[in-house]
Structure 1
C-alpha cells in the first residue's frame, strides 16, 4: 500500500457541427436545452445555449458544443471516460438531422442492445453508447427506456413529429431539472443551467423550503425555486411545443416481499447470489480508458466494492478516504485495514472546522439548500480523488437495499408498540403532552417524552423523530410569518405512500428511503460533489439487476437473527477483515455538533442573528439566538437545525438576493460570498 495524507483547509449518425467524428463509448457530462412554442429559433439562441453550458462547465471540462433548429436547442458539456479522443461529441444527430440527442451518463448494456438493433437492421458508425441509445429511441420509442441498464439523463428530439423526450434513469443517479418559462420549456443537468435562461425569475419556493427544513434536502419533484422542477427517478416527460410538461413513470421497483414468519431461508445461498451480482456490477463499472479508483470509508459497503475491484484489477486500485479531527467521526483506521489487505494506492485527507471555508462553493454547486453535513467530506474526497483518477466507485445504496441503517433496527425493535392496549396509548399521549415546554428541551426529559410519544403513535409517526429534523413542535416554535402557513404540514406525507408498502415497519422505512432519501439526498450529494471536479462516480449497489433481486429478498433474510445488513455481511465476509464486518455502523457526516459549539459558533451567530436574516420573516425573531445558546451551553443538541438554517441563509444570499450570474465560477463569486456573514 502506498500512502499519502493531506490536511484540508478548505441510419447515418453525425455530430452537431463536427464532420470528423469517430468512435467513443462513454461520456459523462452536463446537458441543457430548450423547446420553444414555435418552430423558429431566435438569433440569440446560440449565445443562450452557451451560457447554459457555461453554468455547468465543471461537469464536462473536455468539450462543449451546441445545436439548434426548428425551435429546439441542445447544449452539451463533455467529460470523456472511454476513448478520450474527440470522437463522441454531442449533440448527436441522425436521419439528416431529423433526430437529435444530448445524453449524460452511460448505458452498461449498450453492447447487448447494439447486437439486438443490428439484428433488426440498424447500422452503426461508432462504438458509442450514445449512438446505440439514439437508435434505440428511434426504433422503440419510449419503450426503449425499459431496456436500459445504466445511469443517465437525456433529451431526444424528433423534428418531424415535433416531440421532445426527457428521461432519467431508474433510481436517479443522474439529475435533470426543467421549467416552463412562458411558452418555452427549459431543461438542464443542474438548476444553474435552467437559471441561465434569461427570462426565468428566481423566486423561493416556500413549500419546498419547509420540506427542506424537515428533511435536510428538497424532495422531488420540488426544487427551492418556484416553477423549476426535478424530474423524478424512473420518469420521463414527452412534450410537443407549447404543451405543459407532465412527468410519467416508466419503471417501478418490484414491491417489497412480505416475510412469512414460518419461512426458512438458505442464507448461505442468498449470500452467494448477492456476492455474484455485486461482483458483476463492479466489473461493469470498472470499464474505462481513464484511471479508476474507489471511495473507501471503511464501512462494509465501500470496503466490499474496493475488495472486488482489487480482485478483478491487474493494477493496484487507488482508494480515497476522509478523516476528521474528532475521533468519534474518524474511520480512517478501518479504511487502512482494507487498503493494506489489498495493497491499494491509498490517499487520505483530514478535514477540520476550517473546511467550512468551502461553504460558498457548496452553496453555489448545489444550487438549492442542502443540509446533509456529509456533503462537506464528500466534496473533499471528490476533490482528492480527481487529483488521481477520473472515475470513482462508491458504496451508495448498500444500506437501503440490505437494511443497514440503525433506524431500521429501531423500527424492528419497536414492533411491540403495536400490541400496546389503547388505554395505555392514551395515557402515554396525555403524559407526553403534560410535560411543561420549559422542561421539554432538556436532554433526558426530551428522551422520556419521545418514548411516550412513540408508545402513543402509529408506525409512520414513530418514524418522524428518526428522519425529521424540524418536527411539529420545532416548526411551531420556529416558523415566522412566511413559513407559518406550512407549520402544520407534515413532510411525512411525502414518505407515507412508500412507508405503507409493507406491514413491516423496517421494510416500509427502507422502501421510503429508496424512493426519497436515496435519490434526493445521497445521490444528489454525490453527483454534485463529484461533478464539481469533473469526477464520475459509479454505484455498483444500484445496478438494476441487483436492485430488483434485493427487493425480492424478505427482510428476515436480509437481517438474519436481527443483525443489520447480515445477509450482505455474510456475502462479503470472506473478502474483508473481521473488524470491518463486526464494527458498528458510523455515518459519513461531518462533526457539525462540536464545531457549532466552538469553531463555527461565531460564524453561525453572525449570520443567523443578523438583521438581514431576521428580516426575511422565515423564522421568529430570537429563535436562532435561542438555538445557538442552548447548543453552546449543552442544554439541547440543536446542531442539525442550526446547520439547516445556516445553509438556507447562505442559499438566499447566493441565489435569491444578489444579481449573481449562474454561469459565474464559484472562485469568481467568493469575494462576494465571503461577505455572507456580514
Structure 2
C-alpha cells in the first residue's frame, strides 16, 4: 500500500511540469508515511510514498527499477498472490533481490506485458516506464479498489493516487458543471471517466493504457477485465453445490489477505458480512484484533452490542471506540482537508475515526465491503425484489404516497426512517426499472438539479444515468441491479470512502469479498440464489450457517449512519450560514441562492426529506471548492 504520482511530457512545454515532482510527492505523505522516492529520466518523472506491508526492507522501496534498468515501477496497492507468482518466475530462472510483491510484478511484466494482468490478485493501480521504448504503461485493478486519477492535454500527462498530487504540478482548475450535477444527485462523483476538473479523468477499472510521445500525444486504452454475465441455465450449479463453493472461495480470499509482514486485524460492525470475515480470519489466528465504533451519545445509531456479541462468540481481542458528538465534530477538519474530489457520504466521518483508532493497534484491517452488492444485501435490493412481485403489499405502499408525503421522513428515528423508506418505495414503484434505480441511487430529481445550478438547464443531463442504467431492463431480474451497483456504487462510493479514510490514517484495508474468484463466481449465479421473499443474502447466509450467533443472520440491516440531521440543525448551523449564505453563493456563481435557501428551509421543517443529504452535499462541495479550487 502506498501512493503514486508522476508526469510524462509530450513536448518542451510539457517538461516544465516535471520539476514539480517533489511537491506532488509531499501531498501524498499521509498515504505513505514509511518512506518516499522519485525517479526522473528525460521526459518522465515518477514519485512514490510508501506504507510498508510486505517486505519492510529498503530493498522494496519505490520507484523500483528492474535489474536490467529497462523498467521503472510505482504501484499503489499490493499483489496478494505474489508468492505463487514468484515461484512460477523462479522456475523460469528469475533471481530476486527482495521479498517484495513489487519486484515480482516488474519481473512478470517484463516477460508478459499486459498479459500479466489477469494473473494478479489484489487491489492495485500502477504505472511502469519503459526506458527503451519511451512509453508509459498504466493499469488499474478489476473493481477500482485503488484510485488512479490523471490529467491529459497536448503537452503533458500527469497522474496520481489523489488529485491533490496533480494539482501540485500547477494545472489549470476549471470546474465541469455537468459532473457537479451528477455529484449533487449522488453525493459522490461517478467514476465513469470525467472528473470534476476539466481535462482530468478517472482511469477506468479493469483497463490498461499505453502512452507514447513519438509522433504526438497518444494514449491507447484496452479493457483487460469485465464483470461476467450470469451463466446459461445448463451451466448453473445446484444450490447445495453453490453454497459449498461460496464458502470455499470466501475462506480462500480471507486467508490470502492475512498474508502480511505486519499485524492484521478486522473491522467488525456486528453485521453479517464483517462477522463472516472475522470468523474466517480468527479460525487460525488466536485472539485476532477486531475493531468497532460506538455512539454512546446517540443510542439509535449505536450497534456495538452486536459486534461485542460476535467478538465474544469468536473469542477475539475486541476494541470498541466510543465516540462522542464532539469527537465527530473535531474530526471534520481532517475529513475536509483530505477531499480533493467532492465526496459526501456522511458515514465516511465515522470510518475516518475508526481507521484512526485502528491504526494505533494494527497496520492492516480486513473489511466486509462488497458483500451487499454481490449478494443483494441492501434495503433497495429487497425493495426492488418486492416491487417486481406486484403483490398487494407493494400496491398498498404505492397508493399510500400522499400519506407518506405528509408524514415526517428522515433517518433520525425508527419511525421517521420507515416513513422515508415507504415514501422512496412508493415514488420508485411508479417509475421504470432504470429510472427507479437512478432515483434510489441519489437525492435529487433532474428538475431539482436544474433549479439548483446556475444555467442548470444546460448542464444537467442524463449522460451518466444512461451509462450506469443501460443494462437494466423492465423484464430483467435483480442481477441487473447488482451489476449496476458494482459499476456505480461500489467504485464511486464505497471504494472511494474506504480508500480515502483508511489511507488518510496510514491504514491498509483489504476486502476479501472483492477477490475476483469470489466476484466472478457469484456474479454468474441466478438472482434467486441471492434473494427470496424476506431473505436477503440467501446464499451467503446458508453458506456460513451455524458459524455465528443466530441473531446475526436475522437482524435488520442498519447501516453505518450518523446523526447528521441533528448536527446540521445545531453544531453545524454556523458552517451552513458561512458557506451557504446569499452573498457567498452569488460571488461563487455556481448555485442559485434562492433554491439553496429553499433547501435550507426544508431542512429545518418537520418533514426534511432529502434535504439532510442535499445540505450536507452542498457543504462538502463548498469546502472542496475553497480548499482545492479557490486557493
What TM-score results when the alignment is normalised by the length of structure 1?
Answer: 0.84
**Structure 1 pair 656/362, CA: closer, same or farther in 2 (3 Å)?**
same
Which residue is equivalent to 1:270? Answer: 242
1:352 Cα deviation (Å)?
A: 4.2
CA contact (8 A) 1:178 1:194 kept: yes
The answer to whether structure 1 residue 460 and structure 2 residue 434 are counterparts is: yes
CA distance in 2, matches of 1:417, 1:30: 49
Which residue is equivalent to 1:13? Answer: none
1:87 Cα deviation (Å)?
A: 2.4
CA contact (8 A) 2:236 2:525 kept: no
Which residue is equivalent to 2:189? Answer: 218
| Aligned partner (choices 321, 324, 339) of residue 293 of structure 2 | 321
Which residue is equivalent to 1:667? Answer: none
CA distance in 1, matches of 2:420, 2:79: 50
CA contact (8 A) 1:441 1:636 kept: no
**Structure 1 pair 71/302, CA: closer, same or farther in 2 (3 Å)?**
same
The answer to whether structure 1 residue 252 and structure 2 residue 226 are counterparts is: yes
CA distance in 2, matches of 1:508, 1:79: 37
**Structure 1 pair 98/580, CA: closer, same or farther in 2 (3 Å)?**
same
Which residue is equivalent to 1:487? Answer: 460
Which residue is equivalent to 1:383? Answer: 356
CA contact (8 A) 2:266 2:365 kept: yes
CA distance in 1, matches of 2:189, 2:329: 22
CA distance in 2, matches of 1:491, 1:595: 32
Q: Report the 3-state secondary structure (helix = DSSP H, G, I; strand = E; otherwise coil) of the residue aligned with 2:58.
A: coil
| Aligned partner (choices 73, 98, 121) of residue 101 of structure 1 | 73
CA distance in 2, matches of 1:619, 1:42: 37
1:446 Cα deviation (Å)?
A: 9.7
Which residue is equivalent to 1:593? Answer: 565
**Structure 1 pair 448/278, CA: closer, same or farther in 2 (3 Å)?**
closer
CA distance in 1, matches of 2:137, 2:237: 44
CA contact (8 A) 1:175 1:190 kept: yes
Offset from partner CA, 1:459-512 (integer Å, 9 cap, x none): 11122331121112322442333x341335364223113435x94342211111
Which residue is equivalent to 1:24? Answer: none
CA distance in 2, matches of 1:513, 1:447: 19
The answer to whether structure 1 residue 295 and structure 2 residue 262 are counterparts is: no
The within-5 A match list for 1:565-584 is 565-584=537-556
| Aligned partner (choices 472, 489, 506) of residue 446 of structure 2 | 472
| Aligned partner (choices 53, 63, 66) of residue 25 of structure 2 | 53
**Structure 1 pair 91/487, CA: closer, same or farther in 2 (3 Å)?**
closer
**Structure 1 pair 184/333, CA: closer, same or farther in 2 (3 Å)?**
same
**Structure 1 pair 625/281, CA: closer, same or farther in 2 (3 Å)?**
same
Is 113-122 or 394-403 further displaced after alignment?
113-122
CA distance in 2, matches of 1:31, 1:125: 23
CA distance in 1, matches of 2:220, 2:236: 45
The answer to whether structure 1 residue 370 and structure 2 residue 370 are counterparts is: no
Q: Report the 3-state secondary structure (helix = DSSP H, G, I; strand = E; otherwise coil) of the residue aligned with 2:62.
A: coil
Q: Report the 3-state secondary structure (helix = DSSP H, G, I; strand = E; otherwise coil) of the residue aligned with 2:265.
A: strand
Offset from partner CA, 1:537-595 (integer Å, 9 cap, x none): 00010011111111121110122455101111122232211111110011113221332
Gaps of at least 5 residues in structure 1 are: 1-27, 659-678
Which residue is equivalent to 2:8? Answer: 35
CA distance in 2, matches of 1:623, 1:40: 44
CA distance in 2, matches of 1:523, 1:374: 13
**Structure 1 pair 313/34, CA: closer, same or farther in 2 (3 Å)?**
same
Is 181-190 or 442-451 further displaced after alignment?
442-451
CA distance in 2, matches of 1:410, 1:202: 41
1:630 Cα deviation (Å)?
A: 2.0
CA distance in 1, matches of 2:420, 2:454: 24
Which residue is equivalent to 2:138? Answer: 166
The answer to whether structure 1 residue 208 and structure 2 residue 179 are counterparts is: yes
The answer to whether structure 1 residue 392 and structure 2 residue 392 are counterparts is: no
CA distance in 1, matches of 2:96, 2:167: 36
| Aligned partner (choices 617, 621, 625) of residue 597 of structure 2 | 625
Which residue is equivalent to 2:413? Answer: none
The answer to whether structure 1 residue 358 and structure 2 residue 331 are counterparts is: yes
Is 318-327 or 294-303 further displaced after alignment?
318-327
Q: Report the 3-state secondary structure (helix = DSSP H, G, I; strand = E; otherwise coil) of the residue aligned with 1:642.
A: helix
CA distance in 1, matches of 2:4, 2:120: 19
CA distance in 1, matches of 2:34, 2:310: 34
Q: Report the 3-state secondary structure (helix = DSSP H, G, I; strand = E; otherwise coil) of the residue aligned with 1:574.
A: coil
1:365 Cα deviation (Å)?
A: 1.1
CA distance in 2, matches of 1:336, 1:533: 24
The within-5 A match list for 1:421-460 is 454-460=428-434
CA contact (8 A) 1:530 1:536 kept: yes
The answer to whether structure 1 residue 87 and structure 2 residue 62 are counterparts is: no
1:306 Cα deviation (Å)?
A: 1.1
CA distance in 2, matches of 1:625, 1:302: 41
Which residue is equivalent to 2:160? Answer: 188
CA distance in 2, matches of 1:41, 1:218: 28
The within-5 A match list for 1:53-132 is 53-132=25-104
Is 380-389 or 325-334 further displaced after alignment?
325-334
| Aligned partner (choices 376, 382, 404) of residue 377 of structure 2 | 404
**Structure 1 pair 607/415, CA: closer, same or farther in 2 (3 Å)?**
same
Gaps of at least 5 residues in structure 2 are: 410-418
CA distance in 2, matches of 1:574, 1:87: 45
CA distance in 1, matches of 2:283, 2:53: 22
Offset from partner CA, 1:389-437 (integer Å, 9 cap, x none): 1000000011111111111111111114599xxxx9xxx99x99xx9xx
1:376 Cα deviation (Å)?
A: 0.5
Q: Report the 3-state secondary structure (helix = DSSP H, G, I; strand = E; otherwise coil) of the residue aligned with 1:523.
A: helix
The answer to whether structure 1 residue 140 and structure 2 residue 112 are counterparts is: yes
CA distance in 1, matches of 2:371, 2:123: 17
What CA RMSD, in Å, does the superposition of the two structures yield over aligned residues?
2.9
1:181 Cα deviation (Å)?
A: 4.5
CA contact (8 A) 2:179 2:195 kept: yes
CA distance in 1, matches of 2:502, 2:133: 37
CA distance in 2, matches of 1:175, 1:366: 13
**Structure 1 pair 357/485, CA: closer, same or farther in 2 (3 Å)?**
farther
